[in-house]
């Protein structure tokens, strides 16, 4: 049984919305995913935190032997954003249940395009790594969210597809559910009395 909490914090990318980053990178570089997965992602994580700009990210990939047709990348990326099956209705059901919902993501400034399209009518606050300058699951990522809602980590329940994020939040005194399917997550939230059974 999940104990009562104040904030339901839901990851955006690959929990609610498909992240087309890797497929766009593959299309724009002509390289297989297996090769791209061998890259050092330090610059990507820095870009997600706005510690470097997009140009620096592309230069780092080129240093690693990955040449990207940037215009092609952005075309595929923009066309690839979509709600995962059932996710939009599921988010609306959480809102209708009266939960205080906050969306979170590790993502660069490209998230603004998602906010302006898929998330435009969600009426939910979004906290992103590029705005905060920190990535989940670092305490610095959650600090502004907790301050804004006058909450502590023990008030928070995180739904995220990354087990590391969930485990870290639990170790910090919060609660978490590793998201695999809407049905499984909904069942866990029913146990938390977020959704009606």
At 137-181, the pLDDT tens digits run: 999 999 999 999 999 999 999 999 999 999 999 999 999 999 999
Sign of the CA dihedral with 70 first, then 71, 74, and 79 last: negative
Query: Residue 38, class by beta-carbon neighbours within 10 Å (0-12 exposed, 13-18 middle, 19+ buried)?
Result: exposed
Tokens linked to 36: 């791209």
Is the distance from CB of 174 to CB of 158 less than 8 angstroms? yes
Is the distance from CB of 108 to CB of 115 less than 8 angstroms? no
pTM: 0.92
Tokens linked to 194: 């977020």
**For 90, phi and psi rounded to 5 degrees?**
-65, -45
* 2 has a pLDDT exceeding 80: no
Return mean pLDDT, the chain.
Answer: 93
C-alpha–C-alpha distance, residues 26 and 73, integer Å:
8
Specify the pLDDT at position 193: 57
Specify the pLDDT at position 197: 42
User: Cα dihedral angle (54, 60, 65, 70), rounded to 10 degrees?
Assistant: 10
- Compute the half-sphere exposure of residue 149: CA atoms within 13 Å on the CB side of its CA: 21
- Compute the half-sphere exposure of residue 172: CA atoms within 13 Å on the CB side of its CA: 22
**Mean pLDDT (whole number) for 123-135:** 96
More confident residue, 191 or 165: 165
* 196 has a pLDDT exceeding 80: no
Instruction: Choose the weakest-confidence range: 32-41, 111-120, 188-197.
Output: 188-197
- Residue 192 neighbours by CB under 8 Å, 6+ apart: 1, 2, 4, 5, 157, 175
pLDDT in tens, 75-114: 999 999 999 999 999 999 888 888 889 999 999 999 999 9
Closest CA to 156 of 168, 146, 148: 146
How far are the Cα atoms of 20, 53, 194 from residue 110, in angstroms, in the given order?
Answer: 11, 12, 31
Specify the pLDDT at position 3: 56
**Mean pLDDT (whole number) for 28-32:** 97
Strand partners, 159: 10, 177
Specify the pLDDT at position 108: 98
C-alpha–C-alpha distance, residues 9 and 157, integer Å:
6
């Amino acid at each position: 049984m999940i104990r009562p909490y104040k904030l339901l914090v839901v990851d955006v990318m690959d929990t609610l919305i498909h992240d087309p980053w890797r497929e766009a990178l593959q299309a724009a570089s002509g390289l297989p995913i297996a090769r791209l997965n061998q890259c050092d992602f330090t610059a990507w994580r820095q870009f997600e935190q706005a510690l470097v700009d997009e140009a620096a990210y592309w230069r780092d990939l080129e240093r690693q032997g990955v040449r990207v047709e940037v215009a092609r990348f952005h075309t595929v990326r923009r066309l690839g954003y979509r709600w995962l099956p059932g996710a939009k209705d599921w988010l609306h059901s959480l809102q209708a249940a009266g939960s205080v919902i906050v969306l979170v993501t590790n993502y660069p400034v490209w998230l603004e395009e998602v906010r302006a399209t898929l998330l435009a009518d969600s009426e939910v606050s979004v906290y992103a790594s590029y705005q905060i300058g920190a990535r989940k699951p670092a305490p610095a990522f959650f600090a502004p969210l907790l301050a804004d809602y006058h909450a502590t980590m023990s008030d928070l329940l995180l739904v995220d597809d990354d087990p590391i994020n969930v485990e870290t939040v639990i170790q910090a005194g919060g609660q978490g559910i590793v998201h695999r399917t809407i049905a499984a997550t909904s069942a866990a939230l029913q146990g938390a009395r977020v959704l009606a059974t």
